[in-house]
Homo-oligomer: A and B are copies of this chain.
Amino acid sequence: MTDDDFTVTPYAVQGDVDYERVLDQFGADELTEAERERFPEPLHPLIKRGIFYGGRDVEEYLDAIDEDEQVSIVTGRGPSGPMHIGHVFPLYLAKYLQDRTGAHVYIPISDDEKYFAKDQDFDDIQGWAKDNITEIMAVGFDPEKTRIVVDSADADVIYPWAAKFAKRYTQSTVNATYGDPDNVGLSFYPAVQATHLLLPQLVHGRHRTIVPIAVDQDPHIRLCRDVAAKEDYDVYKPSALLSRFFPQLKGDGGKMSSSDQNPTIYLSDDRDAVLEKIQTYAFSGGQTSLEEHREKGGDPDVDVAYQLLYYFFEEDDEKVEELAADYRSGELLTGELKNYAAEKVSDFLEAHQERKAALGDFDEEIRNYTLTDEERATLTEDLLY
């Protein structure tokens, strides 16, 4: 959807996003306070603080958790470059939910879509897929309950299902949702995406699945839900859990992205790099002089260092409130706030990087997360061989 002031589509986010209006226009629901409180305890900051702020059929998903039914989570990655901190928060949310509910987590790697959409060659994308999967394995999911599925390498299960769903997607629906695609790969991709979102149910039978995802990706879910609603498939429509965009360091409202010229904090950044990037680039809500800041105070609502802490990196509610109050009063200086944020981000990254370093050889480690022969057989049982 585009608007005078902002644009939100799966391929473009620009301008100052009015998050409520996006939900309205996509036809999704705002997450209510009551729904938020029904998430597993202790509430994750991403839920509690409204970073995930909208959804579809979230109520039904929470009901299934209450009933101790098996649930699933789908959260994917398009591998066209290194992962930054904006990419991992849905993954860490998924891990948090998996730890508390025993959810299956399915992580589709859409190397095909990135190849279709980007000016990168196939080998390049494969290299990033390997890199990104390594980052994902470092999150610490339960391998028994977690499946990483690569569109190309798992095409034996992905393509036959995508073909089945493709029959339900008219080209005009795809054009209307995404704009005219550049190539026929992008025309077909929504059917691949539908496969991703329904995969847990295709493997394990009908059960509730939720997709935590930035709000711009909601059209994928909406199209998939339309397909899932057709009588042929005995599945629930996937639920959606929709997030705001992770703050960009420069703070201009769109989503953090490594595809344009914005500086970003990568998962591989060390303490010095994080500190330097935050000090140099993080948009400040403080005043231009020390005196003025002490007198007038800063604005945490636009301060990116504060936003990073609020969104994800400071779990302690009292601490975030204290930081906001001190910043507003002028007691806390921009430099101090930046240093604190850099420290918290670095602590997080260091733990992530330690888990990454502890991983074994890729080819062996990935086998803990690929579909089992039995799961593969279930997914391909109606094929000729």
Contacts and interface: CB of A to CB of B under 8 A. Distances in A.
Interface residues of A, number: 49
Given A150-B385, A153-B383, A370-B385, A183 B168 contact: yes
By secondary structure, the A interface counts as helix
A160 interface: yes
A250 to B, nearest CB: 32
A357 to B, nearest CB: 21
Contact of A115 (B156, B167, B184): B167
A278 interface: no
Interface string A362-385: 010010001000000000101111
A123 to B, nearest CB: 6
A273 interface: no
A150 B384 contact: yes
A370 B383 CA distance: 14
21 contacts: A112-B160, A115-B164, A123-B382, A129-B384, A130-B384, A133-B384, A151-B163, A152-B383, A152-B384, A153-B383, A153-B385, A159-B159, A166-B184, A170-B182, A171-B171, A171-B180, A171-B181, A171-B182, A185-B191, A187-B188, A370-B385
Given A152-B383, A363-B385, 16 more contacts: A116-B166, A116-B167, A122-B164, A122-B382, A151-B159, A155-B156, A155-B160, A166-B184, A169-B183, A169-B185, A170-B184, A171-B180, A184-B190, A184-B191, A185-B188, A188-B188
Interface of A: 111-112, 115-116, 121-123, 126, 129-130, 133, 150-153, 155-160, 163-164, 166-171, 174, 180-185, 187-188, 190-191, 232, 363, 366, 370, 380, 382-385
